[in-house]
Structure 1
Amino acid sequence: MTEKQTIDEPKLSPEEQEILEKYDAESRFRTFSGKKLPLLVSLLAIGLSLYHLYTSYFGTPLTLQHRSLHVAVILALVFFLYPPFKKANRKSVPLYDWLCVLLALSTTIYFFVDYAGIVHRGGIPNTYDLLFGVILVILILEAARRVTGWALPLLAVLFFIYGLFGRELSGIWRHRGYGWDELINFMYVTTEGVYGTAIGVSATYIFLFILFGAFLSKSGMGQFFNDMALAIAGQTKGGPAKVSVIASGFLGSINGAAIANVVTTGSFTIPLMKKIGYHRNFAGAVEAAASVGGQILPPIMGAAAFIMAEILGIPYSQIALAALLPALLFYLAIIVQIHLRATKLGLKGISKENLPQVMDVLKERGHLLIPLFFLLYMLFFSGRTIIYSAFLTIIVTVFVAMFRKTTRMTIRDLLDALEQGARNAIGVAVACACVGIIVGVATMTGFGLKLANGIVMLGGESLFLTLFFTMIACIILGMGLPSIPTYIITATMAAPALVTLGIEPLVAHLFVFYFGLFANITPPVALAAFAAAGISGGDQMKTGFISMKLAIAGFIVPYMFVYNEALLLLNTTFIEGALVVVTSITGVVMLGAAAEGYLFTKIPLFLRILLFGGALLFMNPNLVQDLMGFAIIGFVLLYQWWRGKKQAVASETVSL
């Protein structure tokens, strides 16, 4: 295969598909034999997508009815598409899964049939309320096990047990205790349990933006990002690695699926990185770090920003603007390390004749940027709701794609996008429903407040120690859970600990979100890095640790914006914001150089440590610390100049 051929849109090989399924449970779909069953599943998925498009324009039914319908159809799709075990038959749907489908649909039918009675009873459940509530909870736990693995449903079960038997505990964790009927009723017929905020956001914003991503994919946006990244960065030092960062960042922001991003984008960027001379462990680590970071990158942030906006009750635009600079700093740190390693190893880019030209790429697919610019306008300037903005953007995407034959979508493409959008939403929706059980119990028992107080006590009211213990809790939780449920749980239980110390709620929520997300590249359970190692042929643990090093800014920047809110462009003037941009960029470049151990020449260990310390000085806005940081930079640069001059003299002497 030539370099030119690698520019084509990647098709997963059987080996790559196996890697994806190994590390991403959401991709383990059934592949049916025959035509009737696939048609039924397609109609159900397309119907769900059309329902959400309809309600985004004309309005949703009553809250509980809308959310219950969303959950029920998602559950039905789970039991159609996901086998109960890895080695189960994937060609047909067994009788027990058909029964689960019918039971799942019955939970929403009951809401529509007896909604008046449910409201009239006012929280005093009858037998049918409890029966359908039990059915719903059991189905959600099983669906979550199939789609996300064991960790999330087991955590939900532990919380449910805590709700039942918390009265038997002692100390701060004790509560008055609840009966199973109280818990089931709270989960099923209120908007605080399964049908709480998490599933509410899933049934509105998240589904529509995942559907938007499916339409973008069908129009060829993924190919556009890949080609544009190649055209911009492919010829530079270490070009393929920079292409990986750019393409994975853009795609990750839209789809929010880190592991799937690693496999799809990495299937052509990782071989290119290895071909120009990067070690296989480093090549895999670049793809893993870049793919994970997509969820902190506006405008879409993998849908997490919409959940954050709903929880905090603030405009989405405020979150996106606050998250922009830290995300750019994260990617800058990766690119700095990539560039320095390429310089150190003498690596070249891809030859110009084997790369697309920027103007050619823009001419062929540049019009696909119009929906993204339209979305930004709708979200930031139109004053319309997020749901309506997403609906119109999907329509604009279909219309704009018609401008050129290569991007035009046929009726079949439109139906595929509707189906794929629903399929892609399954993982998030199931996780949100299961998280509803956890958050519901935490709300009833006051567990979240107790945990927040425990973290503060453990930190001894020291801000740094509280941040550190919160970081550890988020990383541990994130190792076993998908990023969105991790954020929801940590936002409920860990972020309040930071708020009690006077940190702005938005700052606290971004802090816990970062560390829950980067658990994907934190050994010993670094699933994104492990998936990348499967493609590169590298060592899993080494790839994970290199991913952490590349993503070092992701572990430092959250501390920076806690100590310096101006980094999020909060409560700051233009001059202060500009100064923060300069110092933070300087600090991130220092971090990259310290991590790589190279700037213009090799940096000795003692100077790497000094450079790292200098970068940390830029964490807290202080003129003295900034001057000390710049002094350290000046010293390192002077040493680099002196050493380079000494080496040049020695080289001339040898040549003579």
Structure 2
Amino acid sequence: MREVDRILLRFIFFFSCLLTLFSLILPVYAFIPNLIERAIHLGLVIPLVFLRGNGERNKLALLLNLLISALGLSLCLYIIIDFRGILEQYGIVKNHLQTLMGLLMVLIVLESARRMIKPVLPTITLLFLLYAIFGHHIPGFFGHVKYDLSQISGMLYLTTGGIWGQLTGISANIIAIFVILGAFIGSTGGEVGFRKISVRLAGRLRGGPAKVATIGSAMFGTISGSASANVVTTGAFTIPMMKKLGFRPPFAAAVEAVASTGGQIMPPIMGAGAFIMAELTETPYLKIAISATLPAILYYFTCWIGIHFFAMRDGLRGLDPEELPSWRETIRASAFFVIPFIVLISLLVRMFTPQYSAFWAVLCTFPFAFFTTEWKFERNFLPKIKRAIEESGSQIAMIASICACAQIIIAILSYTGLGVKISTFIVDLSGGSLFLTLLFTMITCIVLGMEVPTTASYIMAAIVAAPVLIKLGIHPLAAHLFIFYYAILSAITPPVCGAVYIASGLAEADWMETARYSLRLSYAAFLLPFIFIYDYSLLLLGGNLVSTSLCILRTTMSMVMLSGGFIGQFRRTLNPLGRVLLFGIGILWITPLWILDLVAFIGTILIFLDKKWIYKKGI
């Protein structure tokens, strides 16, 4: 099968090149009809999904995968060739052949998602399909009128509201080009730059290696868009470094899991979710990035405080000076990711579209392929470009499969009216209480996020829960950011916590103990969405400089006090009374009542002045 492997790898690289090239052309040549561009995008993705890893299978499986690849490509070509006639059909099938083609396309999309991610999302999608087919048998509120297979097939295959809908369009138009940007930055030396600058900035501090992990993961995570990928990439470097300097393996794994998860909420790129949010809320991407900045900074600030308190408690030191890269070396290496970021942000600020800005940022990475991070000429530069193209194809295929699968759910929610019914049910269940609605939404997002990538869980939760929150008077962007945060946090929330599992494996640690450390480090992320829902100034959506500054102060003090209470450390090791007091003061700081803020302020002063009553004796 070795010759077969080589041929398949060539085909995979060929389709990766086509997909990368097409994704680079779209931002500068945007005159392709929506139906055609989305069909081309998915048509190039399907062979990448089904040809991958076939060398390890038997001949029958290989033949079947080749057949599915050809069939999927043909079904997409049919849409491209006859797109004008299809648009005139308005989703009404002409014959049984079109019905069959639509059903086959749905099955291929489901199988693509199953192969690229775990089977949870395809299973949920299948349940929605069964609801669309048999939902007319359900009595009462959740029932709907009868739809036959031809109607469902036509709606999903022959309209821009089905498989070729908004999410597939976002994947083709916006997400793909940013995936390419991330792959080229990582492959041409940006990954080394992330590592060197984070070690230089934080390496010598108390608990330095753990703080290095937070900086590196924040920078790399914003372009990777995946907590698990971030853990694998940065954790391979940071976890051994932490263990070497005396950090317990579960703690080292927890730091990496929490830091990597937070990368998806860190502007400017924020993974794929921010672009989907921009489309769903009809909000400029730049505004979303600006609104997300303060909560993201506070998230990482809390991680740093938690790491600092743990390091104080366990007597952990930073790196030795000789282990740090020089400033000269750091600055030279950091150019490999700083320059593309500057180009990207500069164009975004000048109000160019995100995809056009990303296109020019990608072009800026090409010259770096010809140099090492020491700025020496790299003769063997072609493998860097090849690796970036292969990584781009793989990541785009995964995200496109997720988006196409989730688009089926969106189509059915809209077609059957189930989305409105679920929203109404949540409002009735909460009795119109904002806090209860937020609580139910939080639980829904975390549950949906278990075993499902962030992008998919955010999409599903946003469709169902966002209208409810907006109906209760919450700003649309705040509502979507609330949902986005909890969709992300499922990666570190037991019992299913993908980032924790992967980090535990790298650290050779018990995953349950790692999960406990993760929750103690990341509790702030579970509070921040509630804070910015009740005070928009944290998102820079309202108020003035004074109100925003006060909100930042209150939130910062709350995070410090709560961290001390959770970990049991402040200046020294806290006794039980000290832990309770710090925890209570932390809660008071985030309560939006001035009298409680005053009590918290007085309590904080007393905590800082006290050197005896709240600490364990002799420690």
TM-score, normalising length: structure 1 = 0.90
Tell whether the 8 Å contact from 1:594 to 1:608 is kept in structure 2 after alignment. yes
Shift of 1:299: 0.4
Match of 2:453 in 1: 482
Match of 1:391 in 2: 359
**What does residue range 395-414 of structure 1 map to in structure 2 within 5 Å?**
395-399=363-367, 404-405=375-376, 410-414=381-385
Match of 1:428 in 2: 399
Distance 2:131 2:2 in 1: 39
Match of 2:231 in 1: 262
1:350 maps to 2:338 = no
Distance 2:357 2:590 in 1: 37
1:58 maps to 2:26 = no
Q: Report the CA distance shift for 1:32/1:580 in structure 2 as closer, same or farther (over 3 A).
A: farther
Match of 2:177 in 1: 208
Tell whether the 8 Å contact from 1:559 to 1:619 is kept in structure 2 after alignment. no
Mean alpha-carbon deviation: is it higher for 451-460 or for 560-569? 451-460
Task: Pick from 538, 560, 565 the counterpart of residue 589 of structure 1.
Answer: 560
Tell whether the 8 Å contact from 1:232 to 1:358 is kept in structure 2 after alignment. no
Shift of 1:611: 2.1
Q: Report the CA distance shift for 1:124/1:580 in structure 2 as closer, same or farther (over 3 A).
A: same
Task: Pick from 555, 560, 565 the counterpart of residue 536 of structure 2.
Answer: 565
Distance 1:286 1:31 in 2: 41
Shift of 1:281: 0.9
Q: Report the CA distance shift for 1:616/1:642 in structure 2 as closer, same or farther (over 3 A).
A: closer
Distance 1:32 1:323 in 2: 50
**What does residue range 435-584 of structure 1 map to in structure 2 within 5 Å?**
435-584=406-555
Tell whether the 8 Å contact from 2:369 to 2:381 is kept in structure 1 after alignment. no
Shift of 1:586: 1.5
Shift of 1:93: 6.5
Distance 1:124 1:266 in 2: 51
Tell me the SS of whatever aligns to 1:300: coil
Q: Report the CA distance shift for 1:318/1:524 in structure 2 as closer, same or farther (over 3 A).
A: same
Mean alpha-carbon deviation: is it higher for 276-285 or for 616-625? 616-625
Tell whether the 8 Å contact from 1:365 to 1:407 is kept in structure 2 after alignment. no
Mean alpha-carbon deviation: is it higher for 142-151 or for 616-625? 616-625
1:191 maps to 2:197 = no
Match of 1:99 in 2: 67
Distance 1:203 1:38 in 2: 23
Distance 1:503 1:68 in 2: 36
Match of 1:12 in 2: none
Distance 1:154 1:642 in 2: 56
Tell whether the 8 Å contact from 1:219 to 1:409 is kept in structure 2 after alignment. no
Tell me the SS of whatever aligns to 2:572: coil
Tell whether the 8 Å contact from 1:73 to 1:104 is kept in structure 2 after alignment. no
Tell whether the 8 Å contact from 1:230 to 1:240 is kept in structure 2 after alignment. yes
Distance 2:490 2:2 in 1: 31
Match of 1:5 in 2: none
Shift of 1:562: 0.6
What is the one-letter code of the residue matched to 2:510? D
Tell whether the 8 Å contact from 1:69 to 1:108 is kept in structure 2 after alignment. yes
Task: Pick from 315, 328, 333 the counterpart of residue 284 of structure 2.
Answer: 315
Shift of 1:265: 1.3
**What does residue range 232-247 of structure 1 map to in structure 2 within 5 Å?**
232-247=201-216
Taking only aligned residues, the RMSD between alpha carbons, in angstroms, comes to 2.2
Tell whether the 8 Å contact from 2:369 to 2:384 is kept in structure 1 after alignment. no
Tell me the SS of whatever aligns to 2:141: helix
Distance 1:418 1:285 in 2: 32
Shift of 1:436: 0.8
Distance 2:613 2:345 in 1: 49
Match of 1:627 in 2: 598
Shift of 1:230: 0.8
Shift of 1:170: 2.5
Mean alpha-carbon deviation: is it higher for 395-404 or for 167-176? 395-404
Distance 1:54 1:533 in 2: 41
What are the superposed Cα offsets for residues 12-52 of structure 1, whole Å, 9 maximum, x if unpaired? Answer: xxxxxxxxxxxxxxxxxx99864322112101111111011
Match of 1:616 in 2: 587
Q: Report the CA distance shift for 1:633/1:412 in structure 2 as closer, same or farther (over 3 A).
A: same
Distance 1:246 1:346 in 2: 22
What is the one-letter code of the residue matched to 2:69? V
Tell me the SS of whatever aligns to 2:17: helix
Q: Report the CA distance shift for 1:131/1:82 in structure 2 as closer, same or farther (over 3 A).
A: farther
**What does residue range 29-48 of structure 1 map to in structure 2 within 5 Å?**
34-48=5-19
Ranges in structure 2 where 5+ consecutive residues have no aligned partner? none
1:112 maps to 2:80 = yes
Tell me the SS of whatever aligns to 2:519: helix
Mean alpha-carbon deviation: is it higher for 361-370 or for 129-138? 361-370
Tell whether the 8 Å contact from 1:289 to 1:521 is kept in structure 2 after alignment. yes
1:225 maps to 2:181 = no
Ranges in structure 1 where 5+ consecutive residues have no aligned partner? 1-29, 652-656
Q: Report the CA distance shift for 1:371/1:554 in structure 2 as closer, same or farther (over 3 A).
A: same
Distance 1:34 1:156 in 2: 33
Distance 2:384 2:489 in 1: 34
Mean alpha-carbon deviation: is it higher for 309-318 or for 443-452? 443-452
Tell me the SS of whatever aligns to 2:23: helix
Match of 1:374 in 2: 343
Match of 1:20 in 2: none
What are the superposed Cα offsets for residues 313-352 of structure 1, whole Å, 9 maximum, x if unpaired? Answer: 0100110011111111111111101111111111111111
What are the superposed Cα offsets for residues 82-116 of structure 1, whole Å, 9 maximum, x if unpaired? Answer: 55xxx962999610000000011011110122222
Task: Pick from 288, 297, 314 the counterpart of residue 328 of structure 1.
Answer: 297
Shift of 1:413: 2.5
Mean alpha-carbon deviation: is it higher for 182-191 or for 100-109? 182-191
Match of 1:142 in 2: 111
Distance 1:563 1:82 in 2: 49
Tell whether the 8 Å contact from 2:190 to 2:333 is kept in structure 1 after alignment. no
Task: Pick from 268, 274, 283 the counterpart of residue 305 of structure 1.
Answer: 274
Distance 1:161 1:609 in 2: 51
Following TM superposition, the consecutive aligned residue runs of length 4 or more in structure 1 with deviations greater than 4 angstroms are: 30-34, 90-93, 400-403, 406-409, 641-644
Tell whether the 8 Å contact from 1:82 to 1:146 is kept in structure 2 after alignment. no
Tell me the SS of whatever aligns to 1:220: helix
TM-score, normalising length: structure 2 = 0.95
Q: Report the CA distance shift for 1:189/1:525 in structure 2 as closer, same or farther (over 3 A).
A: same
Distance 1:407 1:471 in 2: 49
What is the one-letter code of the residue matched to 2:483? V
Match of 2:310 in 1: 341
Distance 1:194 1:258 in 2: 27
Mean alpha-carbon deviation: is it higher for 341-350 or for 619-628? 619-628
What is the one-letter code of the residue matched to 2:196? D
Distance 1:37 1:169 in 2: 47
Tell me the SS of whatever aligns to 2:558: helix
Mean alpha-carbon deviation: is it higher for 171-180 or for 369-378? 171-180
What are the superposed Cα offsets for residues 423-458 of structure 1, whole Å, 9 maximum, x if unpaired? Answer: 121111101010011111001112112111222222
Give % identity.
Answer: 38
Mean alpha-carbon deviation: is it higher for 136-145 or for 571-580? 571-580
What is the one-letter code of the residue matched to 1:217? G
Distance 1:426 1:31 in 2: 24
Distance 1:356 1:421 in 2: 30
Mean alpha-carbon deviation: is it higher for 60-69 or for 364-373? 364-373
